[in-house]
Amino acid sequence: MKLYKDFNISNNHKKSIILIGNFDGVHLGHQKLFKLANTYKKKFNLKIGVLTFEPMPKMFFNKNFKNFRISNINQKKIILDHLGVDFIITKKFDKKFSAIKSDFFIKEILSKKLEAQYIFVSNNFRFGNKREGDVRQLIKNEGRYHYKIVKPQPLILNKKVISSTYIRSLLEKGQLKKTNKLLSRNWSIEGIVQKGRQQGKKIGFPTCNIDIKDYVIAMPGVYAVKVKQKNSNKSLKAIANLGYRPTFNQKKILLEVHIFNFSGNLYNKYLSVEFTKFIRKEKKFKNVDQLKKQIQSDLKVAKKS
């Protein structure tokens, strides 16, 4: 799969199927979309390209959306590769790009630069300065710029539209089992192991500390997890605490992972942490002895998961 950071794509990727969106989490709704795109790919002998943006526009315009992502850009690329995508354009979303007019986006980018044949967008897709452009404008220009708009119906399960917004709400409520089902995989966080305050080690449970950066904050609490190092297929069972560590009066959200039967040094290593089961909510204990007792109980549950 070819990766681009601008619209200057190679000739063999022009005249392709282009899917535009954030595709945060690449959930079942997105997967339905890519399945349809692959039928077009086979029928018309075309390649599939994805146009996505970094940072996500919503995060660019609203600085309060610090913890928002379901998946980071690297995770997204791996999943899209498995879904038959031939190339990805990751366009930097900045003040200059946000100011371009919708007409310019259609004429100069979709038509001249990409020469898109089929453009897949959601019905609520907006683009251009102050979100002036919409799907109606794209359809209106189909004949002029020789592309065809495809706007598939959203995936609805149990009367719920499957969306990234819905999945974020499930994670925030601690509904991990449902989240993993709608992602068709275990939700995971990736990050570099940092040196912490050694509090886990002091009480007999050494942990890998990972800054979750701009990932969505799932329900603070204890989880059964699986851990992988970068470029490794080997999973290690572990237990994780995602939270603020109220017993130690901490205020910054942190992911702490204790790997079972492991003694190596993982500082500065890049880890992927897959969340397999929600065990309990985070709570403040009266003292460290109470905390240690609870951890022993949590470990039994995690090892059985």
**pLDDT at residue 132 tops 90:** yes
Q: Answer whether residue 191 is part of any domain.
A: yes
Cβ 119 vs Cβ 89: under 8 Å? no
* Both tokens assigned to 113: 């630069």
134 lies in the same domain as 236: no
Q: Answer whether residue 172 is part of any domain.
A: no
Residue 271 is part of a domain; what is its CATH number? 2.40.30.30
pLDDT at 248: 59
| Three-class DSSP labels, 156-205 | EECCEECCHHHHHHHHHCCCHHHHHHHHCCCCEEEEEEECCCCHHHHCCC
Q: Answer whether residue 100 is part of any domain.
A: yes
pLDDT at 204: 66
Residue 142 is part of a domain; what is its CATH number? 3.40.50.620
List, for residues 53-103, the tens digit of each pLDDT value.
999 999 999 888 889 999 999 999 999 999 999 999 999 999 999 999 999
Q: Find the distance separating the first CA and the last CA of the chain, reported in whole Å.
A: 35
58 lies in the same domain as 155: yes
pLDDT at 199: 60
Position 297: which residue type?
S
Q: Answer whether residue 169 is part of any domain.
A: no
Residue at which a domain ends, from 125, 160, 195: 160
Tell me which of 39 and 288 has the higher pLDDT: 39
**pLDDT at residue 196 tops 70:** no
Please tell me whether residue 55 adopts helix, strand or coil conformation: coil
| Residue range 1-30: mean pLDDT, rounded | 97
Q: Residue 200 — pLDDT band, cuts 50, 70, 90?
A: low
pLDDT at 197: 64
What proportions of the chain, in percent to the nearest 5, are helix, strand and coil?
A: 35, 25, 40
Percentage of residues of the chain with pLDDT beyond 90 = 78
Q: Answer whether residue 206 is part of any domain.
A: yes
CA distance 166 to 195: 34
259 lies in the same domain as 191: yes
List, for residues 144-186, the tens digit of each pLDDT value.
999 999 999 999 999 999 999 999 999 999 999 999 999 999 9
Q: Answer whether residue 48 is part of any domain.
A: yes
**pLDDT at residue 12 tops 70:** yes
Whose CA is closest to 274, among 230, 215, 228, 234? 228
Range of the domain at 242: 186-304
How far is residue 258 from each of residues 103, 154, 261, 269, 272, measured CA to CA in Å?
53, 39, 9, 15, 13
| Residue range 7-26: mean pLDDT, rounded | 97
DSSP category for residue 215 = B
154 lies in the same domain as 194: no
211 lies in the same domain as 155: no
**pLDDT at residue 117 tops 60:** yes
The least confident of 113-127, 175-189, 251-265 is 251-265
19 lies in the same domain as 151: yes
147 lies in the same domain as 191: no
Residue at which a domain ends, from 143, 160, 177: 160
pLDDT at 250: 66
35 lies in the same domain as 144: yes
| Residue range 28-44: mean pLDDT, rounded | 97
The least confident of 1-5, 117-121, 171-175, 279-283 is 279-283
152 lies in the same domain as 191: no
Number of domains in the chain: 2
The least confident of 190-204, 240-254, 263-277, 286-300 is 190-204
**pLDDT at residue 289 tops 90:** no
135 lies in the same domain as 32: yes
Q: Answer whether residue 174 is part of any domain.
A: no
31 lies in the same domain as 123: yes
**pLDDT at residue 141 tops 80:** yes
pLDDT at 285: 83
**pTM, two decimal places:** 0.91
34 lies in the same domain as 141: yes
Q: Answer whether residue 24 is part of any domain.
A: yes
pLDDT at 283: 85
Q: Residue 202 — pLDDT band, cuts 50, 70, 90?
A: low
